[in-house]
Chains A and B, each alone.
Chain A
């Protein structure tokens, strides 16, 4: 049973007024709110267990280490990684992609090779590849999208070649809500010898992800979009590939033996975790995963689709509204423009009604260029959102139209 009142009660921040109106937080694609259990876990860590991990023999350090590694175990099982050696903590999706581009890309991508991404990638899955391609003389290719905001699969097939070393694809688009057919893309990429990086920053809070079933080589995401803390994320990589990669950063924890002549690197996953990590963040991430598991993706998926359908139906009959992103497979994102009100004015106006949405290019400028808009307004939903909040959004849109009428 999906108990919305109970779920809303888990998120203390939701219970507040903005300019005298109840907060309707519809900016979940930017970051989700945190349930009390995650907040308590982080606080408890600092109140009781704080120490540096993997370094001390004292009780606090052992507790911090145990909790940190327990989180890794939880996260490994959540994504069905083959082992905890495949689970590397990073600062977030962005750092995970940079790690792959720099470490894996630096070794495996040579002049004349190709990296294939899609037109709907977040800047964090574009820019690191551009930087790499510029450095080594490789070529960045882009799979086009159609008017609904879906990858054109025929074009993907045509662009995939034996020169393609890596395919980078977003699992769920933050700008459009599109859920991409990553499983079949991975199968096709593997058939031509390319490896695949899936950007799961958006997807991981909304769909069950099984990296083995997908056969993904790299799957990356950020805790803060899954009810966890900011500043922490994860890279799940195929062990056989991670083994071939040099360290990303040098420092403490990533070594097993250092002399001035030579350093031996630590084993996976520590080889890629130089320095003191965001221990509280990782532990909070583990708790957030438990929270998601407590509700379960069946219930989450059903509820979120219901809410999206409700919002979409309203959008379709709203005068002067154009939806950006109408893929058949999509989740939780309603991106749109109004013909009489610029998205930034809209953002300001609905804010005064207590409604938090995002207005802008959503770090996906090529998507804006494709749809020929400078920016969009984006409402993005989560488990704690209600139909009443969607109604508030649409009456706020009416107010905005009235101001500009």
Chain B
């Protein structure tokens, strides 16, 4: 089977690239981190506001990168906003699994929701890191690692 470019650049991805959600710096945040992909020069910064009940009250990102990395970051912020911080690792793992699994494996749309549109990157190995950079960056923020997140 041959993948069409439209499987990678689905309309959702094009839209999120054009008009990224949760873009810009948060007025209130208590975690943040930088992400950098030296190979392509993609740069990302995420801001995270976790409330006293351990819920991700708000999340946002800034930076520049290709359509895949911007759309992925935009979709990620939508996916985690309002969810318990304790669920983050599982979301991270599910996403990571989706973009690295065999092509035959259908994405778990129930778990992934809209994030499933990024399953197409599996067909484009050099672009997988574009999709996961934001997740690694958010992980750094969650863990307060103070290290620039990289995908390698």
Contact = CB atoms under 8 A, between A and B. Distances in A.
A131 interface: no
Given A20-B2, A344-B130, A348-B127, A404 B64 contact: no
B127 A375 contact: no
A349 B9 CA distance: 9
A20 B5 CA distance: 14
A19 interface: yes
Contacts of A352: 5
B5 A403 contact: yes
A349 to B, nearest CB: 6
B23 to A, nearest CB: 16
B67 A368 contact: no
Interface residues of B, number: 22
Interface string B1-22: 0100110110000100110000
Interface stretch (B38-46, B47-55, B91-99, B143-151): B38-46
A110 interface: no
B65 A342 contact: yes
Contacts of A345: 9, 66-68
Interface string A3-37: 00000000000000001100000000000000000
Contacts of A341: 67
Given A344-B130, A348-B124, A348-B127, A404 B67 contact: yes
A214 to B, nearest CB: 34
Nearest to A361: B41
Contact of B40 (A19, A20, A375, A404): A375
B6 to A, nearest CB: 8
Given A375-B40, A403-B5, A404-B67, A344 B14 contact: no
Contacts of A251: none
A360 interface: yes
Contacts of B8: 348
Contacts of A374: 40-43, 64-65
Given A345-B67, A404-B67, A19 B2 contact: yes
Interface string A324-350: 000000000000000001111100110
Interface residues of A, number: 20
A399 B4 CA distance: 13
B13 to A, nearest CB: 10
Contacts of A404: 9, 14, 17-18, 67
Contacts of A375: 40-41
A371 to B, nearest CB: 13
A360 B67 contact: no
A344 B40 contact: yes
B9 A403 contact: yes
A360 B14 contact: no
Contacts of B6: 403
Interface of B: 2, 5-6, 8-9, 14, 17-18, 39-43, 64-68, 124, 126-127, 130
Interface of A: 19-20, 341-345, 348-349, 352, 359-361, 365, 368, 374-375, 399, 403-404
Task: Report the 4 A-B pairs with minimum CB-CB distance, sorted nearest first.
Answer: A344-B66, A342-B66, A374-B41, A345-B67
Given A344-B68, A404-B67, 12 more contacts: A342-B65, A345-B9, A349-B5, A360-B40, A360-B41, A361-B41, A374-B40, A375-B41, A399-B5, A403-B5, A403-B9, A404-B9
5 contacts: A344-B68, A348-B8, A348-B127, A375-B41, A404-B14
